[in-house]
């Protein structure tokens, strides 16, 4: 219990730091018309979670999947404060309970999502959970790339997570929505998505200057 309380306190601290920093950022969003508000499954890399959380802040109906681990407790608190409905569970295909709850939110008109290489990697390797969710719900998958002009990079974390510095420019690019057919091989889709996400990050980086 003490451990859980400690993580909640740290989570609150993270939220207040992000809330203050987010007010200083210069944000550019690039997306196909209507994509930002689409009832769909939004996916990105784990190390881009901070700028993307800032980008999606204004959306009213949003839900995210967070790990059931202590690390998940750390991230779920700031997400909830940013207005997300947070579902605790695995991002793998075996996290059935979490995925079923996410389906419920999709049916209620929410946008849902989580980093596809989280919660602990390998970095830039897509796990099947969100693909499975999009396939079974019939909703589209929306890939998101992001880049920050000036940022801190936490080299000791598994994904080298990024935190934009105060007054940094942030560019976020929403790629074309992807439909996943009921019989499509998710391993093949995962490989395609990895290339798309890396390319969107590259495009976002190129627009920082």
pLDDT in tens, 143-176: 999 999 999 999 999 999 999 999 999 999 999 9
CA distance 150 to 139: 35
**pLDDT at 18 > cutoff 60:** yes
- At 104 the pLDDT is 93
User: Distances in Å between the alpha carbon of 156 and those of 42, 66, 161?
Assistant: 27, 21, 9
**pLDDT at 93 > cutoff 60:** no
- At 179 the pLDDT is 95
- At 96 the pLDDT is 74
Pairing of strands 141-148, 85-88: unpaired
- At 8 the pLDDT is 84
- At 178 the pLDDT is 94
pLDDT > 90 in the chain, percent: 70
Mean model confidence pLDDT for the chain: 90
- CA 131-136-137 angle, to 5 degrees, is 100
Exposure class string for 189-205: b at 16+ Cβ within 10 A, else e: bbeebbebbeebbeebe
- At 44 the pLDDT is 96
Q: Residue 197: which of 174, 180, 170 has the closest Cα? A: 174
- CA 68-86-32 angle, to 5 degrees, is 125
For 58, phi then psi, to 5°, come to: -75, -15
- At 34 the pLDDT is 58
């Amino acid at each position: 219990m003490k451990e859980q309380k400690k993580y909640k306190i740290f989570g609150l601290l993270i939220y207040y730091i992000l809330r203050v920093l987010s007010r200083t950022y210069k944000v550019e969003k690039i997306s196909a018309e209507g994509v930002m508000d689409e009832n769909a499954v939004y996916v990105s890399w784990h190390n881009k979670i901070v700028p993307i959380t800032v980008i999606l802040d204004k959306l009213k109906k949003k839900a995210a999947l967070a790990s059931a681990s202590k690390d998940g407790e750390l991230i779920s608190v700031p997400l909830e404060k940013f207005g997300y409905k947070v579902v605790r569970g695995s991002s793998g295909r075996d996290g059935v309970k979490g995925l079923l709850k996410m389906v419920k939110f999709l049916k209620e008109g929410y946008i849902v999502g989580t980093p596809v290489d989280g919660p602990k990697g390998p970095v830039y390797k897509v796990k099947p959970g969100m693909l499975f969710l999009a396939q079974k719900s019939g909703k589209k998958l929306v890939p998101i790339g992001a880049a920050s002009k000036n940022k801190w990079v936490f080299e000791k974390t598994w994904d080298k997570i990024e935190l934009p510095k105060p007054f940094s420019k942030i560019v976020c690019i929403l790629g074309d929505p992807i439909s996943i057919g009921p019989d499509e091989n998710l391993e093949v889709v995962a490989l395609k998505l990895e290339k798309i996400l890396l390319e969107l990050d590259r495009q976002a980086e190129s627009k920082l200057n």
